[in-house]
């Protein structure tokens, strides 16, 4: 039963149908299906397919935008369920954003949701943010971790620029740097001097926890 629903969810993203995607996740939640399973087994497959069709030249920018709109509509329904309502001890503060020149927000937002759900206070500064914007938010919030997302091979070097700017601001001993995004790899993270790398939202939580306990 849930397999069929996940397939429909995948298709709603591929077809760029936000209303269908929203209705399907509402149906899934009513049936007690795990919100994370809706993301991993339904929505992610859909957006990956959209990316493939775009790479193959069968989809163009409008279809890419529609696919993302459908995914975002479904995620907005799921997010409150992921976060829950109980008050917890705050594990640490994370400034999170997508780097300059990069408009991709879905993965960054999902990372923020999972961090929030797991006890972090997340200051989401949005997309297309310069290194200076991250640094200003770190200073303002006294953050423990800064997280930078990058989805384009042309923007991943902004993560290095962020680290350089954090060093120049004299904050490198105070804040840990976490990087991620589809083209980012563990070896790239090591090469630019980041403290942590995560390939998905769940591992971002594990890495953030390790970074906090290493700093204590
Ligand atoms: Co664009 N796009 N896009 N796009 N887009 C990609 C990234 C691409 C791979 C598609 C393709 O060609 N197959 C390609 C990049 C190629 C490259 O660089 N080598 C691409 C391109 C080319 C472009 C444009 C240049 C297209 C154009 O204009 N001609 C343009 C660039 C705009 C810009 O940013 N300046 C563009 C635009 C867009 C839209 C705006 C239309 C839309 C984004 C809408 C939005 O976010 N509001 C979009 C989309 C949707 C995609 C794809 C299809 C999906 C991205 C996504 O949301 N994935 C993408 C193809 C793909 O990735 N398969 C593609 C779902 C999301 C949950 O996964 O973001 O990977 P992801 O996040 C994961 C992990 O990476 C990780 O955890 C997340 C959850 O598991 N993670 C972190 C992410 N950030 C992290 C941070 C961390 C830790 C983990 O710590 C801080």
- pLDDT, tens digit (0-9, with 9 covering 90-100), for 53-78: 999 999 999 999 999 999 999 999 99
- 9 vs 39: CA distance, rounded Å: 9
- Contacts of residue 107, defined as CB under 8 A and 6 or more positions apart, other chains included, come to 149, 151, 180, 181, 182, 201
Q: Whose CA is nearest to atom 32 of ligand 1?
A: 103
Q: Which residues pair with 198 in a beta bridge?
A: 180
CB distance 58 to ligand 1 below 6 Å = no
Residue 8 predicted with pLDDT over 70: yes
Mean pLDDT (whole number) for 187-205: 97
State the closest ligand 1 atom to the C-alpha of 103, by its place in the atom list counted from 1: 34
Give 126-149 pLDDT, tens digit per residue.
Answer: 999 999 999 999 999 999 999 999
- 104 vs 129: CA distance, rounded Å: 11
CA of 140 to the centre of ligand 1 (A): 28
Residue 214 predicted with pLDDT over 90: no
Q: Which domains does the chain have, with CATH numbers?
A: 2-86 (1.10.1240.10), 93-215 (3.40.50.280)
- 56 vs 32: CA distance, rounded Å: 37
Which backbone phi and psi does 75 adopt, to 5 degrees?
Answer: -65, -35
Q: Whose CA is nearest to atom 88 of ligand 1?
A: 180
- Kindly report the length of the chain: 216
Q: Best mutation site among 97, 143, 182 for ligand 1, i.e. most ligand atoms within 8 A of its Cβ?
A: 182
CA of 152 to the centre of ligand 1 (A): 7
Residue 200 predicted with pLDDT over 70: yes
């Amino acid at each position: 039963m849930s397999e069929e629903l996940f397939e429909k969810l995948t298709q709603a993203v591929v077809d760029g149908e936000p209303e269908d995607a929203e209705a399907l996740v509402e149906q899934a939640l009513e049936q007690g299906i795990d919100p994370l399973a809706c993301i991993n087994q339904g929505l992610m497959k859909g957006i990956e397919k959209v990316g493939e069709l775009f790479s193959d030249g069968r989809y163009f920018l409008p279809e890419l935008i529609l696919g993302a709109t459908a995914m975002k509509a479904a995620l907005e329904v799921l997010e409150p369920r992921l976060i829950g309502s109980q008050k917890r001890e705050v594990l640490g503060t994370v400034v999170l954003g997508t780097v300059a020149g990069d408009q991709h927000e879905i993965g960054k937002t999902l990372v923020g949701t999972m961090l929030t759900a797991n006890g972090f206070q997340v200051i989401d500064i949005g997309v297309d943010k310069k290194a200076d914007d991250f640094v200003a938010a770190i200073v303002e919030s006294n953050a423990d971790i800064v997280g930078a997302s990058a989805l384009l091979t042309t923007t991943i070097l902004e993560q290095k620029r962020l680290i350089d700017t954090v060093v120049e601001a004299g904050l490198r001993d105070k804040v840990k740097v976490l990087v991620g995004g589809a083209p980012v790899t563990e070896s790239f993270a090591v090469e630019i001097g980041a403290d942590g790398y995560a390939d998905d939202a769940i591992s971002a939580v594990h890495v953030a926890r390790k970074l906090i306990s290493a700093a204590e």
